[in-house]
A and B are shown apart, each in its own frame.
Chain A
Amino acid sequence: MGMTITEKILSRAAGKDKVTPGEIINAKLDVVMCHDVSTPPAISMLVEKGIDKVFDREKIIVTPDHFQPAKDIKSAELHKRLDEWTRRHKIKHYYKLGRVGVCHALLPEQGHIRPGEVIIGGDSHTCTYGAFAAFGTGVGSTDLAAAVATGELWFKVPASMKFILNGSLGSGVYSKDVILAIIARIGVDGALYRAMEFVGPVLASMSMEARMTITNMAIEAGAKNGIMGFDKVTKQYLDEHLKDKKDYTVYESDEDAEYVSVEVFDCSAIEPMVALPHLPSNGVPISECAGKEMDQAYIGSCTNGRIEDLRIAAEILKGKKVTIRTLVVPATPAIWKQAKDEGLFDAFYDAGCVIAAPTCGACLGGFMGVLAEGEKCISTTNRNFVGRMGHPKSEVYLASPATAAASAIQGKLADPRNYLE
């Protein structure tokens, strides 16, 4: 029996010829991602246990993205603890304010993600990196502490589910609609403890930015990781972004690899999707929910805050006015600059949007766009749980940047296809 790409990467990291689903392994880590919510507690634990050390100062990437710039005194204290720690251990890749970006957009952009590697981060959306034929998974602070100190972590090898994405996407339909359709079919625990492996012709036509939107939300189906194969699109992105270490190993699933299930999607049939409150699995086609009044639109996050997302939103907003509060949050400083240079900011400004500095901010109800009681937000983010973006009686509707932009103009859930040629 052959192995899946996930099993191959994990067996390499565990120094074994073969691993099987369910097996507990100890894997060597290639990259450890740290941010301002999960890392300060990890640092405190290490200090308290007398093991305040780092396994490799060049393999730890730090970006205090969640509450940056500091939203209050307590978050400023978190940043201060992080700052002192990075200085104490001479962490090489510490993205400070001015270069801070939303972690899962920043790491690939700055050349820290390579195929075949094992990446863990103190953030559930670390599964994003699987778009690069790598193994990425999110952990809590204790795991993060152990990872930072030792460069190793225990894993249970996940069984893999295969998702075959056939057909081609219609106008106004994007990778966000595909992942919302997938989660609507299998549910928020449909891939619990599993690897979600995505294949098929639809992926070949997608940019890395679009692909990352899909792997980003693997956790919203309960998965341990989301993963895709390597192709010329992957190679081109890496050629443009890798800096220090440019070599990597490409793994692919064997023909006779074992999958616990195979799901086939005809993506040509997918409409623009909206996930209704309060679960990411509540996705329905826009035709079933258009007209619902909104109070705010949010375009940003590790799911949909990349340059391609901003271009899609700007294309729809150009020459139009928004009728509700609309926030555009480029995910990284480089994306911010590129959007400005391309003239996208003009479209956003003229339409009446606010353009914010990169931060996770309101996606998790932190700051910069928090909702009041009873308010409704159309958002390009990844979660719409109770209270996610603010008051426990507020509501979040998840959609693509195109659907969010169209809805911002109408002030209610709207079909982006009405704004496209």
Chain B
Amino acid sequence: MSKVHVYKRDHINTDEIIPARYLNTDDETELAKHCLEDLDVDFVNKVEAGDIIVAGEDFGCGSSREHAIWAIRGAGVQTVIAKTFARIFYRNAINNGFYVIESPEAIEKINNGDELEIDYKTGLIKNETAGIDIKFAPLPDFALEIIKAGGLLNKLVKNNH
């Protein structure tokens, strides 16, 4: 069972997810300490391993910094559910083997603190708190292959051997 942090906002950008003042390192543990700092300074104190972020449209817009994925993953977040994702963030997530979920309705049907169970294979979010099921389209096959391999580079290594 995973707890949810809902941010009812569109365009949560990479500067809010991991401010550039921390880009002088690529250490995931270090980055995680500042995850979402300019959006919600208290997030790092609230988040627990396996938690889920829910947001509006265009999540992760702005910079191509993969540090945004590493900060979120490093903070223990299991997945991000958003109405839509910015292109480079979405790509970075797949390349890191980090499954993110596009759902236009999740933000309307999930509240802060709700507990969720996610079936990534069939594309189903069970909101146990509200007793609601939310369907989503699972990632396309080419993306699943990358995620299954544990990221783009692992897939590359596997294919070469």
Listed in ascending order, the chain A residues whose CB lies under 8 Å from chain B are: 24, 37-38, 40-41, 44-46, 49-51, 66-67, 71-72, 74-75, 78, 122-124, 126, 138-143, 145-146, 149-150, 154, 188-189, 192-193, 222, 224, 279, 364-366, 370, 383, 385-388, 392
Q: A74-B25, A75-B24, A387-B15 are in contact. Are A139 and B91 (CB under 8 A)?
A: yes
Contact of A50 among B10, B16, B157 (CB under 8 A): B157
Which of chain A's residues have a CB closer than 8 A to the CB of B62?
A: 124, 383, 385
CB distance from B133 to the nearest CB of A (A): 28
Structural contact, A71 and B24, CB atoms closer than 8 A: yes
A67-B24, A154-B142, A386-B16 known; A145-B153 Cβ under 8 A? yes
Given A51-B157, A124-B63, A383-B15, A140 and B20 touching (CB < 8 A)? no
**Which A residues lie within 8 Å of B19 (CB)?**
365, 387, 392
Complex: chain A residue closest to B68, CB-CB:
A140
B23 at the interface (CB under 8 A from A): yes
Interface check B154, CB cutoff 8 A: yes
B89: min CB distance to chain A, Å: 8
Main secondary structure of the interface of A (DSSP, over half): loop
B86 within 8 A of partner (CB): yes
Residue pair A222, B61 in contact (C-beta under 8 Å): yes
Which residues of B lie under 8 Å from residue A138 when comparing CB positions?
Answer: 64, 88
Q: How large is the interface on B (under 10, 10 to 19, 20 to 34, 35 or more residues)?
A: 35 or more
Residues of B within 8 A of A192 (CB): 58, 84, 86-87
**Smallest beta-carbon distance B42→chain A, Å:** 13
Q: Are A386 and B38 in contact (CB under 8 A)?
A: yes
- Which A residue sits closest to B25, measured CB to CB? A74
Decide if B23 touches A66 in the complex (CB within 8 Å).
yes
> Is B151 engaged at the interface, CB distance under 8 Å to the other chain?
yes
B156 within 8 A of A: yes
Q: Which B residue's beta carbon lies closest to that of A155?
A: B91
CB of A345 to closest CB in B, whole Å: 28
Q: Is the CB of A41 within 8 A of B66?
A: yes
Binding site for A on B (CB under 8 A): 10-11, 13, 15-16, 19-21, 23-26, 37-39, 57-58, 61-67, 69, 84, 86-88, 91-92, 95-96, 142, 151-154, 156-157, 160
Q: A45-B153, A192-B84 are in contact. Are A142 and B95 (CB under 8 A)?
A: yes
Given known A154-B142, A192-B84, contact A142–B152 (CB-CB < 8 A)? yes
In angstroms, how far is the closest chain A Cβ from the Cβ of B90? 9
B153 contact from A24, A146, A365, Cβ within 8 A: A146
Distance, CA A229 to CA B4, complexed state (A): 47
A-B contact pairs, 30 of them (CB 8 A): A40-B26, A41-B67, A49-B153, A51-B153, A51-B156, A51-B160, A71-B24, A72-B24, A123-B63, A124-B63, A140-B91, A143-B91, A150-B156, A188-B58, A188-B61, A192-B58, A192-B87, A193-B87, A222-B58, A224-B87, A364-B20, A365-B19, A370-B21, A383-B62, A385-B15, A386-B13, A386-B38, A386-B39, A387-B16, A387-B19
Taking a contact as CB atoms under 8 Å apart, the answer to whether A189 and B153 are in contact is no
Residues of B within 8 A of A383 (CB): 13, 15, 62-63
B111 vs chain A, min Cβ distance (A)? 24
B64 A189 Cβ-Cβ under 8 A: no
Given contacts A124-B88, A140-B95, A383-B62, contact A189 B156 (CB under 8 A): no
Most buried by A among B11, B24, B154, B157: B24
A127 nearest CB across to chain B (Å)? 10
Q: A149 and B64: CB pair below 8 A?
A: no
Residue of A with least CB distance to B86 = A222
| Pairwise interchain contact A142-B87, C-beta atoms closer than 8 A | no
**A69 to B52 alpha-carbon distance, docked (Å):** 39
User: Of B16, B21, B142, B152, which is within 8 A of A366 by CB?
Assistant: B21
- The contact of B64 among A122, A386, A388, by CB within 8 Å, is A122
Would B58 and A37 count as touching, CB distance under 8 A? no
Query: Which residues on A sit within 8 Å (CB–CB) of B151?
Result: 142
Q: Which residues of B contact A364 (CB under 8 A)?
A: 15, 20, 23, 63
Q: Rank and list the top 10 A-B pairs by shortest CB-CB distance, nearest first.
A: A140-B66, A74-B24, A140-B92, A142-B95, A41-B26, A364-B20, A189-B58, A385-B15, A387-B38, A124-B64
Cα distance, A143 to B152, chains bound together (Å): 8
Q: In the complex, how many angstroms separate the beta carbon of A102 from the nearest chain B beta carbon? A: 15
Selected from B16, B63, B95, B157, the residue in CB contact (under 8 A) with A143 is B95
Chain B residue numbers with a CB within 8 Å of A188 are: 11, 58, 61
- Residues in B with CB closer than 8 Å to A154 are 142
Instruction: Find out whether the CB atom of B21 lies under 8 angstroms from the CB atom of A365.
Output: yes
Chain A residues with CB under 8 Å of B37's CB are: 392
Set of chain B residues within 8 Å of A145, measured between Cβ atoms: 153
Q: Are A189 and B92 in contact, CB atoms less than 8 angstroms apart?
A: no
Bound Cα distance from A126 to B91, whole angstroms: 15
